Structures are given as structure tokens and as C-alpha cells.
Amino acid sequence: MLKNQTAEIIIIGGGIAGLSAAIYLGRAERNAFVIDAGKSMARWEPDVENYLGFPEGIAGSELLRRGQEQASRYGVGIIRDEIVKAERKQDLFKLRGRTHSYAARRLLLANGIFHRPAEIDGVPECLGHSMFFCKDCDGFRVRGKRIAIYGRGNEAVEYALAMTFYSACVAIVTDGKRPRWDRQHAGWIKKYEIPVYQERIVAVGREGCEVRSLKFPKGLELEVDAVFTTRGDIYFNGLATSLGARVDAEGQVVVDLDMRTTVKGLYAAGCVTPANCQMIIAAGQGATAAQTINHDLFQESLATHSLQRYRGQQLQDLARSGASEDRKKILATNHASALDAPGLQAGSQWPTATKPVKSRKTYGKRREINRSGSSRGQGLQSMDAVRKVSRVHGRRRRSPAIG
């Protein structure tokens, strides 16, 4: 798959943003591939409760599986590999993975971030069950429980104050480290009576994946039901910076509203950007990036006349298949049917639109050649019915490249 070929678009990252983009690009008939290292943070979520359309919740791993299936349905290839180097040469992005090398005209970075977990033995097994990173995602599920905020900066203080909307029992634990919050945040801790435990955490009491207590030296123990960590994030921005893209002070890849980076042809979406790191926001950003890429490629095809060459080959294929004669018959039939319609006489105004004949589905079939000027080969005949009525009454449908 993709061996010795140049793809139109490569998406690095098979998380929510990357798969959302893949679905849109596949439906736009683009030659797109996803290269996934299998590191999406969504896989840590055993029960996603705030994603639209799943009132009973859904496991993050299942959401990813469904996204992969949906992208594959529209012909997008998904490759398991990790990209370790990227460079741009002669308007192409050259990528080197751990197993293969790749090239693409457009590149979308959707490789996300890594949330730093608490540095406590036994905590990793509790991720997504009783140890969390995001108050907006998981505050609701810990209502009325005993909550510990793990951290020592201003963010830990603000997390603790925000969690009081969900529970009266909230404390901050610094794990033996000196607090770094400023005077204002220290004042808030005192004003809102938030307990602070600065002792080193030596162990975690838990039952399965459920935290039950944090254990300190000298036999001291703090009973808790949930831990939220505020140790910060690692942004996977190495590929972006190696290509010359700008990142902000926190390491997030800078993008405009259309997900374009500061490098032409390079886009970014999801948690690697300054967006709020939520799955549904990542999905929206992925869709936005895909629409932008599709638009940019279409505009390029007009400027370089590659769309004209593609259209010329398309018309030749139609002529060879005899579809041109069939099209004339359909046009004549539609013309007569419109005149026979109630309330329409010769010379009357034509209807503003006609309902196209549905085409046979070609989802999941691989387009052999991209839109560089050559025919795709596959899917052309199945689209004949739509093409035949596309110019009825002088109205032309949007190019399939627009999507």
C-alpha cells in the first residue's frame, strides 16, 4: 500500500482528528492515507460520556475502531507505522517511518499530545477509571466523591476550585514537592478552604482500577475516590518544527481558522493545536482541515489546468463507453417530461433543479490514480447516471473535487 507512490494527502495520526479528516477526504474522492502509530489518547478512555450521539457512552477504543471502519469504507488506506522524520523537497513532503518511506503533496498533522500521569506507583492501571486528566471530560462522573488534585502550580489550584462545582470534598496533593502557585492563588486556597497535603505519596490504596486512598509516610493516609493530575502535556510537535512550522510557547502547533500552519501545504488538527483537547472538538478540527485541503487542491487544479486535463480524459472515457449518446437521450426525455408536468407549457420557466439518478455505491474501492490529470479508472462507470443529468437545464453540478 502506497509503495513507490506519491499520495495526494497523508494524515499522520489515527486518532479522532485524523480519522475525521480521513472520512471527509475519502468522500471527496481524494487519494488519502492515514499513518497511525497507535498512540491516540482516546484509547485510554474506557467510557466516553460527552461525545454526541452516544447517550449511554462509548469506549474510546471502540470509537477509534468505528472511525477506522468508516474511513476504510470511503477508500482511505490506514497504515500502521510511526513517522520519525519529515522534510519538504520540490513541493512534496518526504516522510520516513520506522518501516517505510512515503511522499505526499499535502500533509496533515494529527498526532496529538501525551498527558503526563501522576508519578505514583499503581496509578497507570487506574487511568480513565479513577485517575483523570480533564475536569471538563470527567468532572461529571465524580460528583459527590472525594477528589484529590495532583499538582503544585496555579493550574492545580484552579482545578481544585473548579471541582467544587462537582463535590464538596476536594484537596490538593503536591507529592512532597514545594508549591509553585503565586500569591493570588495561595489567597484563593485560603479563602475557599481547600486542604493542601505536601507529604510525599509512598503508595496508592486501590481496589482493581479504583483508587481508595493516597498513603503518606508515618502511616498517614488520605481517603479519595478520584485523582486528577495537572502535570502538563507533551505536544508531539517535532515533525512540525522540523518542517519549519511555528509553535507557541506551550509547544502547540500554530494554525489559522482553517487549520493551515505557517508552512504551505502543511496542516494540523486536534490536540496538537491550541484547541481545547476534547474528542468532539478534535473531530470538528479534522473535518475543517479536510475541507481546507480539498479546497486548496481544487484551486490548485484550476491554476495548473490539471482539472482541464482530467476532464478531457473523463469525456474521452464517456465517449468510448457510449455514455455520451445515452446522455443525449436522457436530456431529451427530461426535456419532454418537464413540458408534460402540470402547470408547465412550452416557453415556461424551467425548474431550478432536478433530482439526480442515484449512482451505484463505490465506497471502499481504491482510486488508482489521483487527480493529477489522469482518469481514476475505477468508479467512473458507476457515476455515469449522475454525470448524465449534471447539465440539465444549463445548471452544472459542482465539480467532484469540491466535495
Mean pLDDT of all residues in 308-316: 87
State pLDDT tens for residues 202-246.
999 989 989 999 999 999 999 999 999 987 788 999 999 999 999
Contact status, residue 41 vs residue 333, Cβ threshold 8 Å = no
Query: Does 214 share its domain with 237?
Result: no
The reply to whether 65 and 132 lie within a common domain is no
Residue 150 lies in a domain: yes
Q: Give the HSE-up count for residue 226: Cα atoms under 13 Å, Cβ half-sphere.
A: 24
Most confident of 99-108, 121-130, 134-143, 310-319: 99-108
For residues 249 and 104, state if they share a domain: yes
| Average pLDDT of the chain to the nearest whole number | 83
CATH code of the domain containing 181: 3.50.50.60
The alpha carbon of residue 156 and the mean position of all alpha carbons in its chain are separated, in whole angstroms, by 28
Instruction: Give residue 213's pLDDT.
Output: 94
Mean pLDDT to the nearest integer, 1-17: 85
Could you say which of 303, 321, 345 is where a domain stops?
A: 303
Residues 56 and 184 in one domain: no
pLDDT digits (tens, 9 = 90+) for 115-161: 887 878 777 778 888 889 888 889 999 999 999 999 999 999 999 99
pLDDT on residue 319: 87
Domain co-membership, 58 together with 151: no
How many angstroms separate the Cα of 318 from the Cα of each of 354, 363, 383, 386, 400?
22, 21, 11, 12, 16
Q: Provide the number of structural domains found in the chain.
A: 2
Of 88-97, 134-143, 237-246, 348-357, which range is least confident? 348-357
Compute the distance between CA of residue 163 and CA of residue 362 in angstroms, rounded to an integer: 50
Note the pTM of the prediction, 2 decimals: 0.77
C-alpha distances out from residue 160 to 63, 174, 186, 196, 347, Å: 30, 12, 12, 10, 74
Residues 6+ apart with CB under 8 A from 166: 139, 140, 142, 143, 144, 147
pLDDT: is 229 or 322 the higher one? 229
Residue 14 backbone phi and psi in degrees, to 5: -105, 35
**Is residue 322 included in any domain, yes or no?**
no
Last residue of a domain, one of 269, 286, 303: 303
Residue 344 has pLDDT above 70, yes or no: no
350 lies in some domain: no
* Domain residue limits at 262: 7-115+233-303
Does one domain contain both 211 and 260?
no
Kind of pairing, strands 101-109 and 92-97?
A: antiparallel
Kindly state whether residues 12 and 110 are assigned to the same domain. Answer: yes
Residue 337 burial by Cβ neighbours in a 10 Å radius (0-12, 13-18, 19+): exposed
pLDDT for 32 beyond 60: yes
Asked if residues 216 and 222 have their Cβ atoms less than 8 Å apart, the reply is yes
Domain for residue 199, yes or no? yes
DSSP string, 141-156: GGTTS-EEEE-SSHHH
Task: Give the CA dihedral 211, 214, 219, 223, nearest 10 degrees.
Answer: -70
Q: Name the pLDDT band for 192 (thresholds 50, 70, 90).
A: very high
Nearest to 239 by CA among 99, 76, 78, 112: 112
Question: Domain boundary residue among 261, 284, 303?
Answer: 303
Burial class (CB in 10 A: 0-12, 13-18, 19+), 343: exposed
Same domain for 111 and 239, yes or no, is: yes
Question: Is 211 in the same domain as 267?
Answer: no
